Every structure is written in C-alpha cells, then in structure tokens.
Amino acid sequence: MRIIRNSVPSRDGFYMPGEFEPHEGCIMIFPERPDSWQYGGYAARRAFVQVAEAIGESEQVTVCASGAQYDNARAALPPHIRVVEMSSNDAWARDYAPTFVRNAAGEIRGIDWGFNAWGGLYDGLYFPWDKDNQMARKLCDLLNVDVYDKRDFILEGGSVHVDGEGTCMVTESCLLSGGRNPRLTKEEIETVLKGYLGADKVLWLPCGIYHDETNEHIDNICAFVRPGEAVLAWTEEESDVQYAMSEACLEYLGNATDAKGRHIRVHKLPLPKPVTVTEEECRGLDACWDQPTRIPGERLAASYVNFYIANKSVVMPGFGDPADEKAKDILQELFPDRRVVQIYARDILIGGGNIHCITQQIPAGRRR
Ligand code: KQY
C-alpha cells in the first residue's frame, strides 16, 4: 500500500461515488466496549449480525473484531461474511474506516482522515481513540488500495454525504464545531472537502438531529437517494425542538441547487416519537472514565434516515414505533429496485448511532 502525502484525490482524478452506486463490499466492526453497549454488548452484537446478514445478501461484508471477540464473531456470523482481527476503540465503521474514492478508470483509493472521537478533548465522547484512528490505514493495507494521508484534518465519514455528481452535503453544527478543525475557516474546510471528495459544491445544512452526540452528523438528518433527490428527517410535532431544526434544513434545501444546478427534490421521512433511555438500560452500561455514558430519560437521536444502501437492499432501522411502517413504505417507494429491510435497532441506537454509522461501503472498482 502506498501512502500518498503529496497530492489530493481531485487532482489525481478521484472522487467519492454516491452510496447508491454499485459496491464491492461493506466494512463493519464487532461491538464490544461496555460503556457503549449495554449488558456486555450481547443485544448490540445480535443487531450488528442482523445488519451484516442483510447487507451480505448482495455484497461482501468484512467484519473487524478484536482478538478477544474474534471467535465469538466468527461463530455468530455466517461463513460468507469475512471476519478479520483488527483492534479498535469502538465499532463505528462509518466514521473511521476509510472514505473510498474512485477514478474514471475504476481504480479505488482510500482517504485516511484524522479521527478524535467526535471532538477530542474539547467535546469528544471517549479517550483514547488511537486504535480507531489507525483503522483506515490498516483497512487500505488489507484491501490493497493506496491511501491519501489526511490525518491533519478531523473528519468522520458520517459527517459527509455525496451524490457522486459533484455535490457534498454536511451540517454546520458538526463541521464547524470547536472540537474538530477550529483553526480552519468555513471556506478552508470547504476547500478540503472539495479537494478530497472531488466535489464542486458543498451544501451546508444548518443542523442535524436534536441531541445527536456527534454534533449532529448529516447522515442522521438527510441523505441522497439518487442525484437530485434526498430524504430529510421530519416531524409534524411543532412543540418538539426537532421541528425548528428540520424546518431550517428544509428551508435551506429549498433554496439550494446542487453541483449540476438542479433544485433538490426533498422527501420528508417521518421521525419516530422521541426515544429515551431507560433506567434499566443505564444500569447495563459501564462508566466512561468516571462519568456515566447515559442518564435515565436521556433522549437518543433516533432517525430512519440512518440507513445503508446495499447493492440489492436498503437496510434501515426500526424502533418499535408506529412510524416504522410508514418510513419503510416511503423508502421502498424511493428505492423500487431494492428490497427495504427493517432491523430493530434500539440496541445500536443506545451506543449513539445507527445502521449507517456502523457500516462503510467499498465502491465497486479495481484495486491495485
Ligand atoms: O456516528 C455515530 N453516530 C457514532 C456516535 C458514537 C458515539 C459514541 N458513543
């Protein structure tokens, strides 16, 4: 594997394809840490396995597991899913597996962004994060793809969405947060995104989902379903703090055009009723250093937008909420060529994210 330090992907003709384009595979990480995953992670691991199985029906899934969990992961996952031993601090493949870019000849390369657990010592979520930060490079080595070194820029994969046709979407609340790249201006951040993702235009939605501990990643509020079309997490409950947040995003998108000059068609995807953590769930979580990770009654950032687009399916979360079915029907209509699979995801949500956050696609293409 070559580590590329003296160029940027766009200069070399590389760009990030849309998630709805064909994949070679998907990367996941087996969950383990007891301050993220309640009661020893058993329920979370079951949910992760269901996600891996659903995605594995139409693409090669690789699951990274610690040495301690390797045998367990191998036993829990079907034989066509590959398990490799790789250390990590937690299980958020979206955020610290590589972002993959491709060129016109179909060659794939990775990007190794800096990772500091969603805000480092400023407002990050755990310490240390050194093993997570090594994963992108290790995975590029494993997959035999060259990697761009961009560790001097803090970025999680869940904080960007692209349409593969020159448009990138982010939230201001995350990309401009004090714990990531505080010495860079918005314009300088935009220049990095364009250079590395091969984008011509960056759409800056103001915010994401209320109480999303990632400083409101884009992948929980809004996602492209194809170029020119996106879904936006939505509530009709005006008294809910999320109402103004979703409305601000809708207004922004209503006035925006993408890199090709198109107005973006926005489909509202209903949110479930607020999901809060129970006392029983909190009792099953270890403290992170000397602090509880969750407190009873705390609202979790539940959203159906946090889905993964696989080659032949869309794998989306369910919460046991009356809106589960409606959200599934909307996505099924938007993805007529894929089967929408809904997985009960409360046990992933308690960790702080959802199905999109625990997966990272490898676009179809040619490896070195
Ligand atoms: O990308 C995500 N949503 C992951 C957040 C993880 C927070 C750690 N508890």
Q: Taking the domains of the chain in order of start, what are their residue ranges?
A: 3-363
User: What integer pLDDT is reported at residue 316 of this predicted model?
Assistant: 98
Question: How many C-beta atoms lie closer than 10 Å to residue 210's C-beta?
Answer: 20
Question: How many C-beta atoms lie closer than 10 Å to residue 265's C-beta?
Answer: 11
Residue range 24-62, pLDDT digits in tens: 999 999 999 999 999 999 999 999 999 999 999 999 999
Residue range 199-216, pLDDT digits in tens: 999 999 999 999 999 999
Interval 311-318 mean pLDDT: 98
Residue range 160-201, pLDDT digits in tens: 999 999 999 999 999 999 999 999 999 999 999 999 999 999
Is position 288 annotated as part of the catalytic site?
A: no
pTM summary value: 0.98
Assigned token pair, 241: 């703090």
Residue range 62-118, pLDDT digits in tens: 999 999 999 999 999 999 999 999 999 999 999 999 999 999 999 999 999 999 999
Residue range 276-302, pLDDT digits in tens: 999 999 999 999 999 999 999 999 999
The architecture of the domain spanning 3-363 is 5-stranded Propeller (3.75)
Q: Out of 28, 29, 115, 125, give the residue to mutate to test ligand 1, the one with the largest number of ligand atoms within 8 Å of its CB.
A: 125
Assigned token pair, 192: 């990095």
Pairs from 181-188 (Cβ < 8 Å, separation ≥ 24): 181/153, 181/154, 182/122, 184/153
Question: How many C-beta atoms lie closer than 10 Å to residue 238's C-beta?
Answer: 8
Q: How far is the CA of 217 from the centre of ligand 1 (A)?
A: 9
pLDDT band at 368, cuts 50/70/90?
confident
Instruction: Report which protein residue has its CA nearest ligand 1's atom 6.
Output: 352
Who lines ligand 1 at CB under 6 A?
36, 92, 94-95, 125, 158, 213-214, 217, 351-353, 357
